[in-house]
Homo-oligomer: A and B are copies of this chain.
Amino acid sequence: MAGGRPRAFDSDLALDRALEVFWRQGYEGTGISDLMKAMGINNAPSLYNAFGNKEQLFSKVLDRYAEGPARYIREAFDQPTARAAVEALLHGAADATTDPDHPRGCITVQGALACSPGAQAARDELVARRAAGETALRERLRQARSSGELPTGTDPDRLARYFTTIYQGIAVQAAGGTSREHLHQIVETAMTAWPQRADA
């Protein structure tokens, strides 16, 4: 067995570069030539050999996103209370979607919201990933109701959908240029909908 010619680029670094382009321009707005330029790969076969086709590359890029710029999402669930978790999630979104080191907004939202039939697979993958986030939040809220943090009358599904909507709205706002401070204000306002105990 032999080794073969070595790669002329670092795969993870190339994925990070591809992420930036997909993030900024969306799935359909990004061409293979854009990707090659950004990734530092100046021949198409290398790209296809390393990452498969455009669709598969997009999927790998989304994994990289989840482990990189969007890691705060997974980490938010480590907070001791559900309320703290939601706050970490939304304030984290306000920061991440306005990070000057990355395109504004969230690739999971703006990557392929509406697209041609040829990009349905990318769109479906993003729908699934957004749904997965909502499901994770729902489970955390259910647990919070079980533990007594949330009143027994609370509907975790409903609350999860509400905060997910806030999250996605923040992504749209960020893409439109809303400032980081304003996004944090939005989160504060949104948190006033948190269920109150029936004492007070």
Q: Which residues of A contact B (CB under 8 A)?
A: 23-26, 28-31, 34, 103, 105, 107, 109-111, 113-117, 119, 127, 130-131, 158-159, 161-162, 164-173, 175-178, 182, 185-186, 189-190, 192-193
Contacts and interface: CB of A to CB of B under 8 A. Distances in A.
Given A177-B127, A189-B193, A25 B161 contact: no
Given A158-B189, A169-B166, A192-B192, A29 B110 contact: no
Contact of A178 (B116, B161, B169, B178): B161
Closest 5 CB pairs of A and B: A169-B169, A165-B169, A26-B114, A29-B116, A168-B172
Contacts of A34: 116
Contacts of A117: 25
Given A29-B114, A127-B176, A166-B166, 20 more contacts: A25-B116, A26-B28, A26-B116, A107-B114, A109-B113, A109-B172, A111-B114, A113-B172, A114-B175, A130-B176, A158-B185, A161-B178, A161-B182, A165-B166, A165-B169, A165-B172, A165-B186, A169-B172, A190-B190, A193-B193
Nearest to A185: B158
Copy number in the complex reads 2
Contacts of A116: 25-26, 29-31, 34
Contact of A113 (B113, B164, B165): B113
A114 B119 contact: no
